[in-house]
């Protein structure tokens, strides 16, 4: 299935949120079949962006998407972001760090966050 990857740690499938860095914080994505509650900020800007990206990622991957809202379908679809294809090849000139040159030789680290909820 497109847009889904296998998690060997959780023995389930993971679905991308549409935000790679957020997927990394979640351990690779959202576990298939899970329910996630996002508490919106005061202006609801970030929660709406997260929702729109998640819906757009699902549509792009060919998943069935249920979006309950009072808006018309046309209005909802206009709010979704466009598909942007990443550039595979990067110029060698752009890989040189101009300002943060000290960090050029520092390796990238992956972050895993696990939240334990006491029962």
Q: Is the pTM of this model over 0.85?
A: no
> How far apart (Å, rounded) are the C-alpha atoms in residues 60 and 106?
34
Contact 63, 18 (CB under 8 A): no
The answer to whether the beta carbons of residues 67 and 55 sit under 8 Å apart is: yes
Provide CB contacts within 8 A for 14, sequence distance 6+. Answer: 4, 5, 6, 7, 23, 27, 28, 29, 30, 31, 32
Residues 43-93: pLDDT tens digits?
A: 888 888 888 888 888 888 888 888 888 888 899 888 888 877 666 555 555
Q: What b/e readout covers 14-35, taking b as 16+ CB neighbours within 10 angstroms?
A: bbbbbbeeebeebebbbbeeee
Q: Tell me the average pLDDT across 94-115.
A: 61
């Amino acid at each position: 299935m497109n847009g889904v990857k296998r998690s060997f740690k959780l023995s389930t499938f993971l679905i991308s949120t549409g935000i790679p860095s957020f997927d990394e914080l979640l351990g690779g994505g959202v576990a298939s079949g899970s329910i996630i509650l996002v508490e919106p900020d005061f202006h609801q800007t970030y929660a709406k962006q997260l929702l729109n990206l998640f819906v757009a990622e699902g549509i792009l991957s060919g998943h069935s998407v249920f979006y309950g809202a009072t808006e018309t379908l046309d209005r909802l679809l206009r709010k979704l972001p466009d598909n942007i294809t990443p550039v595979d090849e990067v110029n060698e000139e752009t890989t040189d760090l101009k300002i943060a040159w000290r960090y050029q030789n520092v390796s990238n680290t992956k972050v895993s966050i696990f939240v334990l909820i006491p029962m």
